[in-house]
Amino acid sequence: MPFVIFEVKTPDTPKISDLLKDDTVSRQSIVIRDAKALAIKGDVTFVKIEGSPEGVKRAEAVAKELGFATVKTKKAKTINDKIQSEEENAASGLGMIFD
């Protein structure tokens, strides 16, 4: 499934809600993580939008209007891998609760 990751500087984080207000964008899978939570240096927040090609394209258009930077391919893969690892660890921990 296609995805895109945006880098949002801390002063601009309130604008994330403007991105999420868009009807098409809000129907996609959305993950928001602070760089520090992913052990990445920087005072930024990452917003991952994953879903239909149309939804990702719309997210890119809205994010551009808001001045969010699109994370390039290699860095985006690294961030995506960290997000997936975090989610898998959380799911694994939840599974242990119900065992």
Q: Measured between alpha carbons, how far apart are the two ends of the chain, in Å? A: 31
Sorted by where each starts, the structural domains of the chain and their CATH numbers stand as 3-98 (3.30.70.120)
The reported pLDDT for the residue numbered 47 is: 98
> What does pTM read for this prediction?
0.88
Q: What is the pLDDT of residues 33-61, one digit of tens each?
A: 999 999 999 999 999 999 999 999 999 99
- Sign of the CA dihedral running 64, 69, 72, 78: negative
